[in-house]
Amino acid sequence: MMKTISVYFCLLFLLVGRFVIGQEVVTVKGKLLDDKSSEPIPFASIYLKNEALGTTSNTEGYFVFHIPVENESESVVISAMGYSSIEKKPSSFSNNEQIRLIPQINQLDEIQLSASKDKVLTAKDIVKRAYKSIDENYPSEPYILEGFVRDLQKEDDAYVEYLECAAKFKYQGTQVKRGPSIELLGVRNNSIAEKHPWNKNQERKNSLIDLVEDDFVRFDYGPILGKKGWKYEIESILTYDNRSVYKIKGVEKPFQTATLYIDAESFAFVRMELTRKAINNRSWRRRFTNGALQVYYNVVFEYREYKGKMYLKYQKEEDHWRIFKGLESNKVLFVKYPKKELFINNIIVDDVTDHAFSRNMDIGSSIENQAENFDVAFWATYNIPRRTAEQSQVLRDLQKINE
């Protein structure tokens, strides 16, 4: 919440085959609050106007944004779903500043009538139109996203894992139905406690692969299709980046609900959330042979417009698994709660083939087994969401256990 000038004199050094150039930055910090309720605003976008570089506020509304000194004269845009955006110069951020955003809800009738000259669009019409507009709204050319992943896991009430890492994701156009190539840039924290024998003996999946294999837009599935069985309803019209966005609730009984945020002008999917919940202990999937039964699944995708196309800004995947003693057993050993979040802080769309990228990640190995030496200069200026008080305590507890 204070503005500082951070200068790093490590101009150039070599770390395990990768050159890292230290840079001089201006760092701005703050806390975002709802102007009416004074509640914190989570997952807001904080980025340089007309630039790709940005960061995200945490669930407590706090953010930290490192800005290269050559960009310190540019405006910082702060934007959150349901609020009017604001712009501030880096020099205008003050000590201990609390930044209040004004809630903005638009009139539904006016937006519906302006969207179509022929008829008032229904919720399902809007979803289908957004689906048909994917090729127009999402990139068709290769691009690179750079970001930060936070991976936590609980067994019952106890945390057993906390992992943080940075990576680059090299994608082909949205029409190419495959995930990205990945360059692992570094691991910031890697704290794993002793796990339940069942959990310990299971194959440990690569956190990044587990995240990118879910993508509604690229892999053409989920509530965005507007297919038979899904019922949709327009809940409200919100503001995002000073544009009107439909908030549409979707239900496919008995297990699935969704919330879709669709730009009222371009019909781009701005944010998507899907939740599956078991009903009366009956899940949407059969129990696995190892005794695992998924009883809750929640995935969120949020996008940011850059140079006329929509790029991923934030992704979350959260699951609840009941672990039984075996396929036919009714004895629950424990409940597993994995949660992964991806925060994109940079978008590369120009000269992608010439951009420095090394596909160095072993997809068959867990991230903690690929951790290299800690790069102090890299992490000092890398844009990541600030830890919450709870996350900091979880990390301290796990580090204490490991010690």
Task: Kindly list the domain boundaries of the chain, sorted by start residue.
Answer: 4-101, 135-372
Element (H, E) at 114: helix 108-115
In contact, 93 and 65? CB cutoff 8 Å:
no
Q: Name the 3-class secondary structure at 28.
A: strand
Backbone angles phi, psi at 226, to 5 degrees: 70, 30
**Cα(87)–Cα(73) distance, rounded to whole angstroms?**
12
The pLDDT of residue 96 = 75
Mean pLDDT confidence for 69-90: 95
Nearest to 223 by CA among 268, 255, 258: 258
The answer to whether the CB of 8 falls within 8 A of the CB of 24 is yes
Q: Strands, DSSP E only, in 93-209?
A: 98-101, 143-155, 158-171, 181-192
Residue 118 confidence (pLDDT): 59
pLDDT at 20: 33
Q: Omega of the bond prior to 103 within 30 degrees of 0, cis? A: no
Domain 4-101 is in which class? mainly beta
One of 3.30.70, 2.30.230, 1.20.59, 1.25.10 is the CATH number of 135-372, namely 2.30.230
Q: Report the pLDDT averaged over residues 237-255.
A: 94
Report, in angstroms and rounded to the nearest whole number, the Rg of the chain calculated over CA atoms.
22
Instruction: Output the CA angle 133-135-136, nearest 5 degrees.
Output: 65
pLDDT in tens, 369-394: 888 888 899 999 999 999 999 999 99
CB distance 220 to 196 below 8 Å: no
CA distance 209 to 205: 8
Q: Say which range, 2-11, 12-21, 91-100, 385-394, has the weakest mean pLDDT.
A: 12-21
At residue 397 the predicted structure's pLDDT band, cuts being 50, 70 and 90, is very high
Average pLDDT score over residue span 354-370: 90
Lookup: tokens for 163:
């992992």
CA distance readout (Å), 382 to 13, 159, 223, 266, 306: 17, 26, 34, 32, 20
Rounded (5°) CA angle 113-115-117: 65
Residue 17 has pLDDT above 50, yes or no: no
As a whole number of angstroms, the distance between CA 45 and CA 56 comes to: 5
Q: Residue 124: is its pLDDT beyond 80?
A: yes
184 has pLDDT over 90: yes
**Chain centroid to CA 292:** 26
CA 343/CA 211 separation, integer angstroms: 12
The confidence score (pLDDT) of residue 110 equals: 53
Q: Once rounded to an integer, what is the mean pLDDT over residues 47-72? A: 95
**20 or 143, higher pLDDT:** 143
SS3 call for 57: coil
Predicted TM-score (pTM) of this structure: 0.90
Q: How confident is the model at residue 23 (pLDDT cuts 50, 70, 90)?
A: low
Q: Are 173 and 141 in contact (CB under 8 A)?
A: yes
Per-residue pLDDT tens digits for 82-107: 999 999 999 999 877 899 999 987 76
Question: Confidence class of residue 364 from pLDDT cuts 50, 70 and 90?
Answer: confident
Banded model confidence at residue 111, pLDDT cuts 50, 70, 90: low
pLDDT over 90 percentage in the chain: 79
Q: 201-234: per-residue pLDDT in tens?
A: 776 778 898 888 889 999 999 999 998 899 999 9
CA 251 – CA 31 distance, rounded (Å)? 35
User: Cβ–Cβ contacts within 10 Å for residue 369, how many?
Assistant: 12
What average pLDDT does range 229-247 have in this prediction?
Answer: 93
